[in-house]
Amino acid sequence: MMNTKPIAIIGANGKTGRRVCSKLRSQGLTVRGLSRSTPTPFDWQNTATWTRALQGCRSAYITFQPDLAVPGADQAIAQLADVAREVGVEHLVLLSGRGEDGAQRAEGVLKQSGLDWNIVRSGWFAQNFSEGFMQQGIAAGTLALPAGNTPEPFIDVDDIADVVVALLTTSDKRNQLFEVSGPEALTFALCMQIISDVTGKSVQYVDIPIDAFISELDALGADNDVQWLMRELFTVVFDGRNSLPVDGVQQVLGRPATDFFAYAYKAAASGAWLGQPEHKMVV
């Protein structure tokens, strides 16, 4: 008999969460999308919302805000797993981060939770260029970041969503970690060249000092947690430790990961980089 209990998606409005919701619903499955603004709210800062949010669900996909790298994230995951177990959730899928010590602590907590689990350990999203903090700079023609020439195998978020859906809807790969990335490591400068090629307009990458980047974030109103996270990512995590592509997409889906050119073509076709902001944005 088909299991009709809902699948909870924590972070249903995020880059991966909204795609996972859509893909599950397209299969006719019942989904409970969760965020601070959903009819049944879930707020990482308000543990009183967690029990009702997960009550009656069979499994859950977890995206932690702002990032598993931040101090205390592992404690939050431990507490969430306790709540999930108490209300009868059987299986948790956690989106984790490559090369982040805090994320690996959270992974360890999940593995010891007593629940069935999967971990999807991901690097940088390709969609950060088209749906995130880099979009406006690219639309203006200049992306300024403190990333140097470090290559990164950027992953298409649609691939992450496909992996998560497969793990949520089958049981043969439970209690395993899958590390996912794009098929080729590229510098930010090469990414801007590809975006230039597919859009037909010049987009330049400019390397800037980390302090200048953080100062710009502060001027734009980014809170202290975001500033701390960006400094951590660009000065600690983004040091080449994640430059080697990995094959988790192939392991789960039986197909290669989407390359950056295919992602950029898709994003350009959607109009992601249309328009000319009045000034060049750092983020």
pLDDT tens figures, 152-211: 999 999 999 999 999 999 999 999 999 999 999 999 999 999 999 999 999 999 999 999
Closest C-alpha to 112, from 137, 132, 94, 134: 94
In this structure, are strands 116-122 and 91-97 parallel, antiparallel, or unpaired? parallel
Q: How confident is the model at residue 222 (pLDDT cuts 50, 70, 90)?
A: confident
pLDDT tens figures, 150-162: 999 999 999 999 9
Report pTM.
0.94
Decide: residue 78, CB within 10 A, 0-12 exposed, 13-18 middle, 19+ buried: middle
pLDDT tens figures, 129-150: 999 889 999 999 999 999 999 9
Q: How confident is the model at residue 220 (pLDDT cuts 50, 70, 90)?
A: confident
Strands in the chain per DSSP E: 7-10, 31-34, 59-62, 91-97, 116-122, 142-145, 176-180, 204-207
